[in-house]
């Protein structure tokens, strides 16, 4: 139904353009004043008047059809059946009605349910048809209205350009809407979480056991939401990654900017960039397939036991992923140190190495620091490597050879599978997401500030 | 006076200062430091590239076997009495395939053995036969030859991925055993290995002098414990065979006067350690096979030349399956294609419009600054947060269905937008002002200059950025997992924008999680396919950048 509607609307837009174009040509041929705008602009004008209102209507309708029909459905259920049901049971009833309506009848549903499902289907059909008729009517009205306005004096080009500017502004608002959506959804669900678990417990508790009873009377662990072990695990893995990536990336950048011939550079740089382009799920599998067993074997040869999902394996692989990130940002920072500073240093008789360590690196330090901070924010937010290679159980340890868990791993484990949005287990993921978002945001802002400030210094 | 100082022996004169040995040493040291820095740099680059090489070679090494499948030809009579021509899908193809397979082994008749033998054939073999019949209904009533895959363990065995036998003892057990060996207490007599131990017949373990009821096991344990420093390890208990205590007991029963004395006893080793001591290795049948018979059957098939190796077209044309030898990527490829299509259709126009507005039209105000800061930050938001956004907003607030490519594409589009916007702005900036001024000069409006001149010239740069953004989106996993785009899709018939789907990276993730050995190579193969897509996309982007993009 919807695809037919969209097809019809697209055809109407096309027709609108053609009609507008033709009418403008006809008007231009008979009128004694020169047309203000080219015929094409008149066509675009009609098309815009057909397309924009009808598509906005369809979008809004689709957003509200579901909730409105649900609301009608709940209202139409017999009073005595609905009263006394709590929200969860009501949701269950509604989803049962919907699945019956979709034709998946399991067992022997109530007559009430069957009747409601029937009503639900009928209303949805009515709504679909109403939308179809309304949208086509709006589109046709647009054609009629726009056709009427076509005249020699009508400034179609200016109007179309205005509409275009409006559309462009609307598009640029999407970036803001996205940020707003992220903040709002994380905040909203987190606040619901903090209704059930206090902020203090979340931020300072030492015990993370989110597997809480989902059904009444189910016996599981108590459900503790102290996120310190999760944060500690995240920091541990990120630290290992940075310890691996920073020296390798930095030395590579120094060599590439200062020592390497341009030919060497042009071969090696893309090779390093490949590391940055590999999807993280591939790194995760690499960690499980190759790195973790290798580390385990090395540990065994040296006589101590290393967990197969140790923090070290995940961190080391994450470090490999971050090497090109650090090397290219440090590369930029070192390359943007003015040549005059190098020349000055050489003029004093310094060797290349001394120039690098005593002049270039200190002056490039802010830029390098910015790069390291950006890489750290990546390490904290990295998901697939740790989901595949790190642990799930939160344990408060700083031993890199023990399994630890991270914020992102917890988000993924809490949200895959059952996603009922009224228990703290699911909501905890959003609280963790909020912490993750805020911490990476702060790191990014600081890093970008440092990089920008430093750039201004030399420009 | 100053001359006198300058000419004093050893003084720092202009002529000889650089020639002193100390100065030369200093210079050498300084240049050594310089070289050291170079070596560190080269070493780091080398390490990074070696790691890249290890990554690729380990994937290729474990993945290439998945491109080949071992099959066996079955001659099946498509009995028209069994297969209904009107509804050919309903017949019992399992029985047909198995009976055809059993004709290779007429000697196997007992139901139990047949059940075991039947496990050599892929559990998906009946579907292969069924699909063949559905595709060729005219052959019902004929005798047809159909190649069906072997089951995963036999496929892996045939390709040499898994061994017939595996080590019976783990590495640390062998290490413990080697400690014994180094101490020289092992010796082999009459084709049997013993530990020569001094067992103290402890009167404390002989209750009231009753040698019959004495705890000989304990005495042996005590004696044995002296061989190890780390006696807390329980592994040593397995080394000795179960009946060591009775060997000692026999000695003491024969001569009760031994109580309180230390006697030398040959303690027999348990089975695997015995093998290890005599032959240097201890092997057991790979637990993937249920008995030696499995291997005999396999060898007989192989000797008769019935097994053939084929390129695994299934990997590309089959959808997901629970049987690794039949699992393919067509579902994942379709899902990824649909999601990327949505992603492209949304992010490409929106990204260009945003970039054009910010770069060419927007007045420089706090408001546009705010938009720019937003875009820069979005580029650095972790992907899992976008998944949370999709889950909370698209699924919960808008009520869109779970697991569908439409939602996946929308989330990916939000992630791709910053990349496209940044690339588009750079491409617009690169178009020289003379082009714009020329346009204005002949009376074009701002929008006309933009649409007719600047955008077409910037298009190669924009496309480069878009392709790179889409390549990133193709590899994204976490947000797709959060919106549930890892549904099990056994057939691609019903796939659509609003049907549950699977994407290539989420397929890799779920295969990587599967316990079957065959999925390891399938995962690597899927990764190789994903990487080749990414390489192709990036190559196109590089080509566009180098060839089509104009240098001003």
User: pTM of the entire structure?
Assistant: 0.83
A447 pLDDT above the threshold of 50: yes
Q: Which of B43, B384, B539 to mutate to test the interface with A (most CBs of A within 10 A)?
A: B384
- Beta-carbon separation of B509 and A388 below 8 A: yes
Nearest to B34 among A353, A416, A433 (CB): A353
Would you state the pLDDT for residue A420? 66
B339 pLDDT above the threshold of 80: yes
Average pLDDT rounded to a whole number, residues B188-202 = 81
Nearest to B380 among A251, A408, A444 (CB): A444
Structure tokens at A289: 């397939």
Q: CA-CA distance, A166 to B552, in Å (whole number)?
A: 32
B488 touches chain A (CB under 8 A): no
A152 pLDDT above the threshold of 90: no
Chain-centre distance of CA B307, in angstroms? Answer: 28
φ, ψ (nearest 5 deg) of residue A405: -120, 165
Would you state the pLDDT for residue B185? 77
Angle formed at CA B64 by CA B474 and CA A272, multiple of 5 degrees = 50
- Beta-carbon separation of A171 and B354 below 8 A: yes
Within chain A, which residue ranges are assigned CATH 1.10.3720.10?
224-458
Nearest to A168 among B361, B381, B417 (CB): B361
Range with the poorest average pLDDT among A87-101, B266-280, B415-429: A87-101
Residues of chain B contacting residue A157, judged by C-beta atoms under 8 Å apart: 445
The CATH code of domain A224-458 reads 1.10.3720.10
Residue of A nearest to B62 (CA): A289
Residue of A nearest to B399 (CA): A66
Nearest to B380 among A282, A377, A382 (CB): A377
State the smallest CA–CA distance between residue A167 and chain B in angstroms. Answer: 8
**A315-341 residue pLDDT tens:** 999 999 999 999 999 998 898 889 999
| Burial status of residue A29 (CB atoms within 10 A of its CB: 0-12, 13-18, 19 or more) | exposed
More confident of the two residues B375 and B7: B375
Helices (H), A336-383: 339-347, 352-354, 361-381
State the smallest CA–CA distance between residue B389 and chain A in angstroms. Answer: 5
Only one residue has tokens 């949370």, namely: B388
Would you state the pLDDT for residue B5? 47
Range with the poorest average pLDDT among A232-241, A252-261, A419-428, B495-504: A419-428
Q: Which of A1, A270, A281 to mutate to test the interface with B (most CBs of B within 10 A)?
A: A281
Would you state the pLDDT for residue B4? 46
Would you state the pLDDT for residue A82? 67
Band of pLDDT at residue B301, cut at 50, 70 and 90: confident
Residues of chain B contacting residue A182, judged by C-beta atoms under 8 Å apart: 381, 385-386, 388-389
Going by the DSSP 8-state scheme, the letter that residue B89 receives in this structure is G
Q: Which of A384, A435, A442 to mutate to test the interface with B (most CBs of B within 10 A)?
A: A384
Average pLDDT rounded to a whole number, residues B451-458 = 92
* Cβ(A100)–Cβ(A94) below 8 Å: no
Nearest to A185 among B58, B383, B392 (CB): B392
A244 pLDDT above the threshold of 90: yes
Beta strand residue intervals within B30-170, DSSP E: 68-77, 143-149, 165-167
How many pairs of residues across A and B have Cβ atoms under 8 Å apart?
A: 254
* Cβ(B451)–Cβ(B518) below 8 Å: no
Q: CA-CA distance, B420 to B376, in Å (whole number)?
A: 12
**A191-225 residue pLDDT tens:** 998 988 888 888 888 888 877 555 544 445 557 88
- Beta-carbon separation of A384 and B478 below 8 A: yes
Q: CA-CA distance, B364 to B350, in Å (whole number)?
A: 20
Angle formed at CA B55 by CA B343 and CA B325, multiple of 5 degrees = 75
């Amino acid at each position: 139904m919807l695809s037919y509607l969209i097809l019809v609307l697209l055809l109407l837009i096309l027709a609108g353009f053609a009609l507008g174009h033709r009418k403008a040509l006809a008007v231009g041929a008979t009128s004694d004043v020169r047309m203000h705008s080219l015929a094409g602009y008149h066509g675009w004008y009609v098309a815009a008047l057909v397309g924009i209102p009808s598509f906005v209507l369809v979008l809004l309708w689709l957003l509200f059809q579901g909730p409105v029909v649900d609301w009608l459905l709940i209202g139409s259920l017999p009073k005595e059946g609905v009263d006394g049901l709590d929200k969860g049971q009501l949701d269950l009833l509604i989803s049962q009605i919907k699945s019956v309506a979709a034709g998946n009848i399991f067992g022997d549903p109530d007559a009430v349910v069957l009747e409601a499902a029937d009503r639900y289907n009928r209303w949805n059909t009515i709504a679909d048809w109403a939308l179809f008729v309304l949208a086509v009517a709006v589109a046709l009205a647009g054609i009629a209205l726009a056709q009427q306005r076509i005249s020699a004096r009508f400034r179609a080009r200016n109007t179309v350009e205005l509409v275009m500017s409006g559309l462009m502004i609307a598009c640029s608002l999407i970036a803001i809407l996205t940020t707003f959506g992220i903040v709002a959804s994380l905040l909203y669900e987190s606040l619901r979480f903090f209704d059930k678990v206090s902020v203090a417990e979340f931020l300072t508790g030492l015990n993370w056991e989110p597997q809480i009873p989902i059904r009444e009377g189910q016996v599981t662990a108590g459900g503790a939401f102290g996120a310190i072990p999760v944060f500690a695990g995240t920091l541990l893995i990120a630290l290992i990654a940075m310890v691996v990536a920073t020296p390798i990336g930095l030395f590579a950048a120094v060599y590439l900017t200062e020592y390497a011939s341009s030919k060497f550079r042009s071969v090696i740089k893309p090779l390093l960039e490949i590391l940055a382009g590999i999807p993280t799920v591939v790194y995760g599998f690499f960690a499980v397939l190759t790195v973790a067993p290798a580390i385990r074997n090395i540990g065994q040869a040296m006589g101590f036991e290393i967990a197969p999902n140790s923090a070290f394996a995940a961190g080391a692989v994450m470090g490999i992923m971050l090497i090109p990130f650090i090397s290219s940002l440090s590369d930029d920072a070192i390359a943007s140190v003015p040549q005059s500073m190098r020349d000055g240093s050489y003029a004093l008789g310094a060797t290349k190495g001394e120039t690098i360590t005593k002049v270039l690196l200190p002056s490039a330090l802010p830029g390098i620091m910015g790069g390291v901070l950006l890489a750290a924010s990546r390490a904290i937010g990295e998901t697939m490597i740790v989901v595949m290679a790190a642990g799930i159980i939160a344990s408060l340890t700083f031993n890199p050879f023990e399994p630890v868990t991270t914020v992102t791993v917890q988000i993924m484990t809490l949200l895959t599978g059952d996603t009922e949005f009224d228990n703290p287990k699911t909501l905890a993921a959003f609280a963790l997401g909020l912490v993750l978002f805020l911490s990476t945001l702060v790191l990014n802002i600081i890093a970008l500030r440092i990089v920008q400030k430093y750039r201004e210094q030399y420009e | 006076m100053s001359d006198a100082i300058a000419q004093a022996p050893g003084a720092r004169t202009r002529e000889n200062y650089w020639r002193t040995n100390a100065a030369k040493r200093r210079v050498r040291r300084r240049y050594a430091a310089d070289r050291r820095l170079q070596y560190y740099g080269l070493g780091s680059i080398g390490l990074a590239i070696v790691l890249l090489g290890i990554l690729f070679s380990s994937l290729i090494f474990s993945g290439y076997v998945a491109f080949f499948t071992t099959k066996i030809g079955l001659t099946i009579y498509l009995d028209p009495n069994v297969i209904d021509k009107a509804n050919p899908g309903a017949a019992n193809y399992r029985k047909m395939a198995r009976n055809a397979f059993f004709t290779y082994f007429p000697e196997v008749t007992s139901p139990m053995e047949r059940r075991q033998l039947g496990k050599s054939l892929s559990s998906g073999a009946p579907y292969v036969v069924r699909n063949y019949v559905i595709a060729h209904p005219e052959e019902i009533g004929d005798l047809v030859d159909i190649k069906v895959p072997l089951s995963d363990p036999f496929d892996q065995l045939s390709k040499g991925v898994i061994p017939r036998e595996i080590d019976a003892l783990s590495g640390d057990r062998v290490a413990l055993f080697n400690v014994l060996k180094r101490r020289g207490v092992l010796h082999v007599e009459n084709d049997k290995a013993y530990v020569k131990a001094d067992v103290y017949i402890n009167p404390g373990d002989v209750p009231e002098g009753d040698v019959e009821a004495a705890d000989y096991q304990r005495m042996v344990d005590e004696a044995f414990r002296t061989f190890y420093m780390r006696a807390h390890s329980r592994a040593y208990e397995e080394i000795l065979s179960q009946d060591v205590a009775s060997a000692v007991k026999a000695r003491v029963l024969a001569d009760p006067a031994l109580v309180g004395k230390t006697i030398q006893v040959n303690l027999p080793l348990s089975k695997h350690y015995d093998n290890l001591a005599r032959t240097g290795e201890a092997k057991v049948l790979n637990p993937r096979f249920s008995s030696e018979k499995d291997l005999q059957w396999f060898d007989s098939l192989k000797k008769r030349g019935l097994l053939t190796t084929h390129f695994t077209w299934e990997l590309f044309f089959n959808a997901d399956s629970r049987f690794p030898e039949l699992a393919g990527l067509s579902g994942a490829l379709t899902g990824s294609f649909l999601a990327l299509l949505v992603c492209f259709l949304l992010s490409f126009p929106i990204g260009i419009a945003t970039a054009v507005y910010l770069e060419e039209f927007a007045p420089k105000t706090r408001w546009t600054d705010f938009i720019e800061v937003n875009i820069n930050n979005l580029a650095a938001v972790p992907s899992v947060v976008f998944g949370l956004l999709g889950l909370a907003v698209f699924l919960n607030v808008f009520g869109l269905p779970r697991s569908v490519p439409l939602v996946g594409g929308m989330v990916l589009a939000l992630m791709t937008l910053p990349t496209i916007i940044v690339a588009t702005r750079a491409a617009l900036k690169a178009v020289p002002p003379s082009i714009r001024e020329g346009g204005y000069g002949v009376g074009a409006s701002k929008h006309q200059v933009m649409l007719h001149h600047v955008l077409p010239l910037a298009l190669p740069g924009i496309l480069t950025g878009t392709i790179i953004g889409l390549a990133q989106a193709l590899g994204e996993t976490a947000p797709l997992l959060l919106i549930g785009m890892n549904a099990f899709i056994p057939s691609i018939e019903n796939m659509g924008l609003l049907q549950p789907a699977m994407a290539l990276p989420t397929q890799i993730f779920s295969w990587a999680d599967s316990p079957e050995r065959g999925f390891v190579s399938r995962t690597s193969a899927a990764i190789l396919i994903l990487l080749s897509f990414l390489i192709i996309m990036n190559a196109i982007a590089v080509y566009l950048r180098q060839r089509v993009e104009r240098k001003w």
